[in-house]
Amino acid sequence: MKTFIQTACCLFLLALVTSAAQGQKTSKTFSGIKKISLSTSSGNCKLIKGNTNEVQVTVSDTYSTSNFRPIMEQDGSTLELKEDFAGRGSYSGSSSWELIIPENLEIRFSSGSGDFEASEMEVKISGNTGSGNYRWRSVTGNSKINTGSGNISIDDFHGDIDLNTGSGDVDITKAEGDLHANSGSGKINLLNVKGKVSANVGSGDITGKELVLTGKGMFNSGSGDVSIKLASAPGYAISVNSGSGDALLDFNGNKMEGRVIMTVNKRNGKIVAPFPFDKTEEIQDGGDDNVRIQKTAQLGAKDIDIKISSGSGTAEIKK
């Protein structure tokens, strides 16, 4: 009898430990929501397109503590979601938020290190993470996102977007709308993008292919290479620049028209172009080591500036 009781107690304690290790799962449904604000410590967020006007929130966690508590509060048409840790100190485990939402909501997401996923929906997103990644697919809606060191990967996006990462990479494929992308030390890769485009990196490379510029195009790297390949002739000013890397603008067989201005450092730089120049001049920028060579040519009658420059690399334009 004693052995049976001891065994039963052990099984009961084991069940409690297993339950604690597995964490908990909480689901709630809300109606009349137009705006959602989600703040997590390190929890991930995944948006899923629903087929009703309701918002269904499911949060799962693996924290082995009862001090973790998800908070879900509705105030009119605003839903506030956040994580609360009743005790102090650090806890092992993780959390994941799944939001099934109708389209045309406004989402604000902030997290220390959580990732943010969204797919196949129309939504306005504002996101800020310390080191979390962004992975979007088939999303429509003007958005603004920031991460300290995470990567940003977006496929099939429609709308204006302003994005920034301190040290992560940016990959944008098949996008239409005004795009402003910045990375402190990562790479920016753009493929099949249509719109007014601005891309800047501090020390990484910028690669753009099959670009259609419907507004001014600006591409700049402090010390990396910049390579831009157009899908159509630009009708607006375009600037391709690198501080110490190579700068290339490839017209990809499209008609070359505009006022071409190419600039490099006299001592280290090189200019490559498939046409003669109308004017070559030296520009003094201080001491003898800061002399730039600038060459200009007017191609056709189009009144736009096409600027390609490099501090100590090669500035090149291709047909």
Question: In this model, does residue 13 exceed pLDDT 60?
Answer: no
pLDDT at res. 59: 97
pLDDT at res. 270: 97
Q: Are 298 and 251 in contact (CB under 8 A)?
A: no
Higher-pLDDT residue of 25 and 67 is 25
pLDDT at res. 290: 83
Q: Are 289 and 220 in contact (CB under 8 A)?
A: no
Strands annotated E in 130-221 = 134-140, 143-147, 152-158, 161-165, 170-176, 179-183, 188-201, 206-221
Q: Counting Cβ atoms within 10 Å, is residue 262 exposed (0-12), middle (13-18) or buried (19+)?
A: buried
Confidence class for position 23, pLDDT limits 50, 70, 90:
low
The length of the chain is 319
DSSP single-letter state for residue 119: E
Q: Under DSSP, is residue 222 helix (H, G, I), strand (E, B) or coil?
A: coil
Provide the H-helix boundaries in the chain: 2-22
Q: Under DSSP, is residue 273 helix (H, G, I), strand (E, B) or coil?
A: coil
Q: Are 220 and 204 in contact (CB under 8 A)?
A: no
pLDDT at res. 11: 42
DSSP single-letter state for residue 130: S
Confidence class for position 15, pLDDT limits 50, 70, 90:
very low
Strands annotated E in 62-187 = 68-75, 78-85, 95-101, 105-111, 116-129, 134-140, 143-147, 152-158, 161-165, 170-176, 179-183
pLDDT at res. 16: 40
Look up residue 263 and give its two tokens: 């600039």
Q: State the average pLDDT over residues 276-289.
A: 86
pLDDT at res. 87: 67
Question: In this model, does residue 293 exceed pLDDT 70?
Answer: yes
pLDDT at res. 19: 41
Confidence class for position 88, pLDDT limits 50, 70, 90:
low
CA proximity to 106, closest of 72, 143, 138:
143
Q: Are 15 and 7 in contact (CB under 8 A)?
A: no
Q: State the average pLDDT over residues 31-39.
A: 98
pLDDT at res. 18: 41
Look up residue 275 and give its two tokens: 């046409």
Question: Over the stretch 153-190, which tens digit does the pLDDT of each residue have?
Answer: 999 999 999 999 999 999 999 999 999 999 999 999 99
How far is residue 93's CA from residue 64's CA, in Å, rounded to a whole number? 7
Which phi and psi (to 5°) does residue 21 adopt? Answer: -65, -35
Confidence class for position 21, pLDDT limits 50, 70, 90:
very low
Question: Exposure pattern of 88-114 as b/e (b: 16+ CB <10 Å)?
Answer: eeeeeebbbbbbbbbeebbbbbbbebb
Question: Over the stretch 185-236, which tens digit does the pLDDT of each residue have?
Answer: 999 999 999 999 999 999 999 999 999 999 999 999 999 999 999 999 999 9
How far is residue 115's CA from residue 131's CA, in Å, rounded to a whole number? 8
Question: In this model, does residue 2 exceed pLDDT 90?
Answer: no
Q: Which residues contact 31 (CB under 8 A, 6 or more apart)?
A: 53, 54, 55
Average pLDDT score over the chain: 92
Percent above pLDDT 90 for the chain: 84
Q: State the average pLDDT over residues 246-255.
A: 98
How far is residue 249's CA from residue 271's CA, in Å, rounded to a whole number? 12
Residue labelled with tokens 């509705």: 74
